[in-house]
């Protein structure tokens, strides 16, 4: 099996991948994974390495120096790549655990919070004319990223539900977790396993939101109308925000990040809501009876 075939096998659903992940972050991650494939490195260990890289990025951003910003951008790039490695290893070696998604999600949220807050603290000494200061723009960029990511994730999960022809796959996963927890408690299983199952169940329930949806349109019609929209939503997905942050501070151009996240990103978000509303209106007349 050649590397291209293996690379494809290492990916999730192709529509669940952002373009920057497919063509930049994941290819680099795949080279790392294949180069270290013979070593007994688990997906959770890759998640740990990603966390360390993210914390190193935060530490360097906190310094508030030009060198600190550049090293911070480098370590944030390393985090973005390593964050792709855990899932790729799990899919290739089929050694993922029921807690892998939990650990990956916690690491992702933790690092992004550390990076944006550290960056804001690092820029607090850079005073400019006017009321709005650079650290305020970092906070606005972080808040914008959160809104953009939530919106993208909502339509991504909705698309996958229709593509699978199943609007309740998340609900079933949660039900399976409940059964595993019940069985572990009934058999007085290890305390750590029970704790992790409770934590994972809470995380999955929080992530589920309204994903246990009823499919009201014909799946093939919905997917046909929304494929382009999903690709357009990905333009303000997490990967684009990470890339612009990396470029901005690696090349000492923080305004690039602010322009993308605060101006372009929010205008794109507004435009996408209008575009999605038009698609939903067109689909309204084609609901399943």
Instruction: Please tell me the pTM assigned to this model.
Output: 0.86
d(CA 10, CA 185) in angstroms, rounded, equals 34
- DSSP class of residue 214 equals P
Q: How far is CA 161 from CA 177, 178, 213, 223, in A?
A: 20, 21, 8, 10
For the stretch 38-85, pLDDT in tens is: 999 999 999 999 999 999 999 999 999 999 999 999 999 999 999 999
- DSSP class of residue 287 equals B
The 8 Å CB, 24+ separation contacts for 186-193 are: none
* Contact of 98 with 203, CB cutoff 8 Å: no
Domain 3-167+213-284 sits in CATH 1.20.120.1760: yes
Domain boundaries defined on the chain: 3-167+213-284, 168-212
**Which element (helix H / strand E) includes 66?**
helix 66-93
Apex 66 CA angle, 64 and 71, nearest 5: 90
Apex 154 CA angle, 201 and 167, nearest 5: 70
For the stretch 150-182, pLDDT in tens is: 999 889 988 988 887 765 556 666 677 778 778
Of residues 168 and 127, the one with the higher pLDDT is: 127
């Amino acid at each position: 099996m050649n590397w291209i075939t293996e690379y494809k096998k290492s990916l999730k659903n192709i529509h669940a991948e952002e373009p920057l992940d497919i063509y930049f972050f994941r290819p680099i991650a795949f080279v790392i994974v294949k180069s270290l494939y013979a070593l007994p490195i688990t997906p959770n260990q890759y998640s740990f390495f990603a966390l360390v890289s993210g914390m190193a990025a935060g530490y360097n951003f906190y310094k508030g120096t030009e060198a600190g910003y550049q090293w911070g951008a480098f370590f944030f790039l390393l985090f973005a790549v390593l964050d792709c490695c855990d899932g790729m290893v799990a899919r290739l070696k089929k050694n993922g655990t029921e807690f892998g998604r939990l650990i990956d999600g916690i690491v992702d949220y933790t690092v992004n919070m550390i990076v944006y807050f550290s960056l804001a603290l690092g820029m607090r000494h850079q005073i400019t004319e006017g009321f709005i200061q650079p650290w305020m723009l970092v906070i606005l960029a972080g808040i914008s990223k959160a809104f953009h990511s939530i919106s993208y994730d909502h339509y991504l999960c909705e698309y996958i539900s229709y593509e699978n022809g199943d609007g309740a796959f998340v609900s079933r996963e949660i039900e399976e977790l409940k059964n595993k927890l019940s069985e572990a408690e009934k058999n007085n299983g290890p305390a750590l396993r029970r704790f992790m199952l409770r934590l994972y169940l809470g995380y999955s329930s929080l992530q589920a939101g309204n994903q246990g949806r009823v499919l009201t349109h014909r799946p093939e019609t919905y997917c046909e109308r929304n494929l382009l929209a999903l690709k357009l939503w990905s333009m303000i997905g997490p990967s684009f925000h990470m890339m612009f942050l990396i470029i901005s501070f690696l090349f000492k151009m923080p305004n690039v990040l602010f322009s993308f996240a605060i101006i372009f990103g929010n205008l794109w978000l507004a435009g996408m809501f209008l575009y999605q509303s038009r698609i939903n209106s067109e689909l309204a007349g084609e609901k399943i009876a």
